[in-house]
Structure formats: structure tokens, C-alpha cells
Structure 1
Amino acid sequence: MNRRTFLKKTFGSLLAFAGASGGTYYYARDIEPAMLAIRRETISSGRLPAQFDNYRIVQFSDTHIGFQYTVKQLRQLAIEVNELQPDLIVFTGDLVDRPDLYNWNDQLIDALRTFDAKDKLWIYGNHDHGGNGTTILKNLMNKAGFTLLLNEHQIINRGNAAITIAGIDDMSLGRPDIDAALHNAPSEHFTILLSHAPDFADIARSYPVDLQLSGHSHGGQIRLPFLGSLYTPSYATKYIRGKYDFNDRSRNLDLYVNSGIGTTRLPYRFLCKPEVHCYTLSNKV
């Protein structure tokens, strides 16, 4: 769906709701986009070492700074993330909405530095590559203490045990390569894949991956009762929000799709609050 069609359909639906209730437009523009939800999930697997019991991973995604979301709001987000006391923070792409138009400055780096965890990892989203943002984002996130996983993996150690976190490039504007990402990764490790695009799960399910964390869809951003999301971007059309299970092989894959923080194209959220995921690992099944 092109931008014009998206805008036409979305505006039409919003106007219909606004006609039914004068407060709907105000709510979708000014209220719900600020209603952050903390989604707490327990990831249970017998493949997890006992040393990773109660290990906490916090995921945030799709801030799209510069469209509706601000650096000041990012600082507040960091406070709320840090209150969850994460061992690992992962950002699954789309930091800035329009890298070619954004006024880059050290305030954004300082805000990102305030996210506090032993390990901070991130991957590219489609907006990160757009507008010549690829190198800018890489340098900025590096200064902020985030490590890029670009078709590669990192071993996370705890005591004498370890798990693997792999990350791939964006499906839309990048070159995702899961074979490279998992090359020489220990097959016995519990393995988490970071993919901006949730529909990549259809590929990941054939690989030794236990858990995929994604964003990109914004959960639909605008959802209507009984109809669900009006629109989701390419590579987020099958898996849109929440948890999906793939149990068709011996090593089952779980997918979680984060609805993101910011907005894009239109500055509205309706029945789709911005969210942060907090995952607690458990080796008790």
C-alpha cells in the first residue's frame, strides 16, 4: 500500500470515529500516544541454564524521534526502562523517523546513554537505513554505548553459562543474512534473534533459534474494534503484535512483536498503546 492510499484509508476511518465521538481524534492524537504500557512476559525453557534464571531483557522499538516523539520523551522512557532493572536492553530499530531531515546533536546521544544495563544491543530498522542514516546511526549508537548486531551474534555470559543473541539487518532496505548471524554460534546455546521485521520468523523457524524479538509493525498503530489494524508495513503483514508460537520442529520458536514507542506517517495511536516489553528468563518449564 502506498503512502496516499494509507493516508486516505486511515483518515477516513479516523473521521468516521471522530464523527461518532468528538473526543476520538483528540484521544488518538494527544492521549494514547503517551500511554506507555509495560508488557511483562516470562520466557520459560529447559534449554536455559539455571544461571540465567530471572535474567531480565527489556526491549524497546520504533521511537521514530523527530516525527511526534522527542528526545525529552526518550529521556523519560529511559527512566521507566531503568526502573525495570534490566540485565540486557535491546533496541529493535527505527530510532529516528527521517534521518535526512533530523537535526543531529549530542542531546540524543546523552539521552541514549542514560539507558542502564550491563549489555545494550541494537539492530537496524528500515528508517535507520533511509535518508543516508546508516553510518550516522551506527556512530551515534556506538557513542551511546549500544552495540550493533549486523548479521552477527554476541555471546552473553553469566557465571559459567552463556546464551547467544543474534541480530540481522533490516528486510526492507538492508541485507539480512541469518547464516552469517549464526555462524559459529554454539548450537547448544539458547538463542535469541533480533529482527526488525516480524515476518522474518517464517525464515528463522528453520534455524536453531529459540526466540525472536521484533518491532516494525507498530501493532498496526490504529486499530478498530472487530477489524483490527488498518495497515501494517511490508514484512509485518502476518505477525503484527504480541506472541506467536512455531511448534513444528524439535526446537520451538517463539516470536514476540513489540508495538513500538513512537508513530510514523500519522501522529495517532488508537487501541494500540506504545509499549515496552520486559522479558524474564526462566529455566523452569
Structure 2
Amino acid sequence: MKRRDFLKTCFSFLVKGALLSTTGYMYAKYVEPRRLTVRQYDIVHPLIPKQFDGCRLLQFSDVHAGYHDTVEQFQRIVTKINGLAPHVICFTGDLLDEPNKYEHVDTMTALLQQLDAPLGKFCIYGNHDHGGYGTDIYKEMMEKSGFRLLVNEWVAIKQGNEQIVVAGLDDFMLGKPNFSKTVQRMPKNTYTIVLIHEPDLATQASAYPFHLQLSGHSHGGQIQLPWIGPLVTPPLAKQYVEGFYDIGQLTLYVNRGLGTTRMPFRFLTPPELTLFTLKAGS
């Protein structure tokens, strides 16, 4: 190859590389973080009562409001959730990125109040909810907006003379979680959903009478590469990153979350809402 042709080829590669990098940067920062997806799944289990056949449970997670995500964006999410008409709503932690620095607590609380679920709204602490002196801020926000905050406890949801159970543990990074306390006096042979912010605790949770664990925390890694997967995941989200896993009798689902933290990017991990439809069956 002549020197001139060689230089032209090198220049062409540099230009294409720069364009590709710029396009990837713009997409990961401005496009994918707003590409809200809705994943819908049927959950079939013999312990789901017939009265709950067709019950829709909506999970959302990891909003991280205040870190590049605006109140207007969350308003659109609230509208989307209500449009899916869930019977039950479960939030699996990390509402505000830095609770003590967030300036729109009242507005955010009012938006959470708008979420409609006739059989109840339930939530747990994430690590960011405890961090930034947020423990009491988060608790007040969720209770004012009609959510039942579960801290190492369970609650029964009843339809007629049948019931299912929703349990919730305190955060494992900054809280005081306690499995034994959570399952005290929990009814036997009852379909039980447990909310745990960090997914890797599923190994421990599988030793208890839980049937479905809903978690977040991982953000799906926020940035994934083809054939490689997530580049970085947070502590306690190394083993289980996104989607379904079976651990003994326990089914785990890891939600990719809605917001971002540390870096305002998403690539191949669009934000998600998850709608589960319970089905009585074998």
C-alpha cells in the first residue's frame, strides 16, 4: 500500500471511530435511559388461589430521582403504570438518589399518591433510601403516598376467603434485615411474594417459605456489551443481574429499574416496568 493510501485509510478509520463513539455516547445518555419498556409475564403456581387468578402485580424499582431524572419523567411513568391497571403495586427500593439533597419531596410524594392499586401498594428500603440520611424521609414519603413500608414483616392480601402474602426485608447494605423475624407467624401453604432490594440474597431467601422474590438494585448493569454482558454491577448483584432465576423452590425476578446512578448512561439495558399476572395452576 502506498503511503498516501495508508494515511487515507487511517484517517477514514479515525473518522468512523469518532462518529461511532459519539453516536454511542449520545444514544446511551439521551435515548436509551428514556426508552421505557414494559415486560409482562404470567406466574403460575399451585398455591395461587382461584380468587387471585388474573391478579396483576406491577413491580417498579430504582427510580433514583434527582440523578439526571426529572419530576416530569416520573409523571410519565406514573401515567404508564396506571394505564396498565395493576391490582397490586410493589416498589423494590431506591426512590431518591440522595434523599437529603432532593428538592422535590412534596411533588414526588404527590405523584406516588396518584398510583392506583385496589389491592394495595407495598415497598421496601433500598440502600439509597437509607443513605444520605434518607431513612425517615423515605418512610414519610411512602406512607403519605399510601404505600405499606415492609421492614422485616409480612402482610396478607385477601380476596373473599382466600389470601396471598407479601413480605419485605430491610436493606442488606445499610439496614438491619432479619429473615427469621420476617417469617414469624406467616401462614403456611400460602403463596408468598418477598421483596428484597439486593438480588443475590436469593440464595438465603430460598431456605424460607417464599415462592417469588422481587428485586432490583442491579440496573441490569446499566451498560452491557454484546457477548460480554454487564461491565459492572453493584455489590450483592453479582450473581443475579436481570430477569428470571430459579433457586430451589424460589423464583427470583430482577428488575432493571427506571433510573441511573453514578453514570447517567444505559446501553442494552433499557429501563423497565414489570407486570406479573398471577395464574392458579399446577
Structure-1 residue corresponding to 2:62: 62
Percent sequence identity is 47
Please report how far the alpha carbon of residue 263 of structure 1 lies from its aligned counterpart in structure 2 after TM superposition: 0.2
The equivalent residue for 1:148 is: 149
Question: What SS does the aligned partner of 2:42 have?
Answer: strand
Aligned counterparts of 1:25 and 1:204: Cα–Cα separation in 2: 39
Aligned residue number for residue 262 of structure 1: 259
C-alpha distance in structure 2 between counterparts of 1:47 and 1:18, whole Å: 56
Residue pairs, 1:229-244, within 5 angstroms: 229-244=230-245
Q: Distance in 2 between matches of 1:40 and 1:209?
A: 21
| SS of the residue 2:273 aligns to | strand
Letter in 1 for 2:87: D
Query: Which structure has the greater CA radius of gyration?
Result: 2
TM-score of the aligned structures, taking structure 2 as reference length: 0.92
Where does residue 113 of structure 2 map in the other structure?
113
**Structure 2 partner of 1:10:** none
1:80 matched residue in structure 2:
80
SS of 2:99's equivalent in the other structure is: coil
Deviation at 1:239, TM superposition (A): 0.3
d(CA) in 2 for partners of 1:74 and 1:113?
12
- Deviation of 1:130 after TM superposition, in Å, equals 0.4
Q: Structure 1: 5+ residue runs without aligned partners? A: 1-16
**Equivalent residues of 1:36, 1:273 under 8 A apart:** yes
1:18–1:25 Cα contact (<8 Å) kept: no
Report the aligned-residue RMSD.
1.3
**Contact 2:42/2:279 (<8 A) preserved:** yes
Question: SS at 1:44's partner residue?
Answer: strand
The runs of at least 4 aligned residues of structure 1 exceeding 2 Å deviation read 17-22
Q: Is 1:52 equivalent to 2:52 in the alignment?
A: yes
SS of the residue corresponding to residue 142 of structure 2 reads helix
Unaligned ranges ≥5, structure 2: 1-16
1:83-94 superposed matches below 5 A: 83-94=83-94
Aligned-partner Cα distance in 2 for 1:68–1:256: 26
Which residue identity does 1:153 align to in structure 2? W
- The question of whether the paired residues in 1 share the 8 Å contact of 2:168 and 2:196 is answered with yes
The one-letter code matched in structure 1 to 2:133 is N
The alpha carbon displacement at 1:20 in A equals 3.8
Amino acid at match of 1:57: L
Query: What SS does the corresponding residue of 1:132 show, helix, strand or coil?
Result: coil
2:278 is equivalent to residue 281 of structure 1: yes
Supply the distance in 2 between the matched residues of 1:145 and 1:70 (Cα, whole angstroms): 22
Q: Which amino acid aligns with 2:245?
A: Y
- The residue type paired with residue 81 of structure 2 is V
